[in-house]
Amino acid sequence: MNKKEAEIKMNKLGENKTPFLFIIDFEMQNSIVLPLNKLIKNNIFYSFNEKTNFRTIKSVADFSFSAEKLKFNTYKKSFDFVMQNILKGNSYLVNLTAQTKIFSTYNLLELFYLSRAKYKLYYDDNFIFFSPETFIQITDNQIFSFPMKGTINANILNAEKIILSDEKETAEHYTIVDLIRNDLNIVAKNVKVDKFRYIDKILTSNKNLLQVSSKISGFLDKNFSNKIGDIIFSLLPAGSVSGAPKKKTVEIILDAETYKRGFYTGVAGIFDGRNVDSCVMIRFIQKNNGNLYYKSGGGITSTSKLENEYNELNDKIYIPF
């Protein structure tokens, strides 16, 4: 369904206190909104903060996973285009992504069942994601966001000190926190940064990562559930996977990237009849013509180094077992 249809349906379900799932693509052109009791019928499974609608199965196959690395020159062309726009002043932070062909002995459903993540979802043999990043949470009438920017291999000596003292990563994180704070001010009152630049550890099948996050909060009207659709769409696209300023940066992204993101870097969430929990759809695998593609990326600023950004894009291609 389109944006307007999704907003209306989300508002109506929220007004009726009907639990539902929403999935919204990056460009806000395609949305899925379904009551929770219709998900299994539509072959949709989820686990959001350990709330699930499925039972885990065991795979009988030996696990293998590999990636056909994106050609460096292909990434360089997109990177150079983004950097030219940054140097012209058209943007000061651009989230640049790409898709990489991957190979695994596990199918999408097996990868979904056996992965570990704060948020994960399987959509009808079409795509899965296992995201560590919260988009927003609403508890009673208080809204929270946890922007995530800055990733490093946890096995590097003094990794935490390195990532927290990195000037480029620090500037990028300041930008995202400021952007998200401004976004929340559109829908909430008394918005503030509760916690700035703390470390989350993410376990993967081949390495552990450290991710830098912050916590921002504000207060909504008590009848917020009547306008859940309006609130969610007012905050999109998510700042951490677009950039700043948003409108111009999204135009740059659409010109720079060599594929359509689709649902990747959109948002998905659950309204349980009272509260909302949602995530940014990153760590994302898409099935296309029988092949699997992993979508990943990172933020580009004026101080970004081509090789570092290329390596970060590849470091984020993992299965969190």
The pLDDT tens digits of the residues spanning 189-222 come to: 999 999 999 998 877 666 788 889 999 999 999 9
CATH class (in words) of the domain with range 3-51+74-134+224-315: alpha beta
Whose structure tokens read 């559930």? 225
Distance of CA 223 to the CA centre of its chain: 27
Which DSSP letter does residue 106 get? S
pLDDT value at residue 206? 66
Provide the mean pLDDT of the chain.
94
Domain ranges of the chain: 3-51+74-134+224-315
Say what the pTM is: 0.92
Distances from the Cα of 153 to the Cαs of 29, 45, 203, 235, in angstroms?
A: 35, 30, 10, 30
For residue range 301-319, what is the model confidence (pLDDT) as tens digits?
999 999 999 999 998 999 9
Q: Which range has the top average pLDDT, 149-153, 198-202, 259-263?
A: 259-263
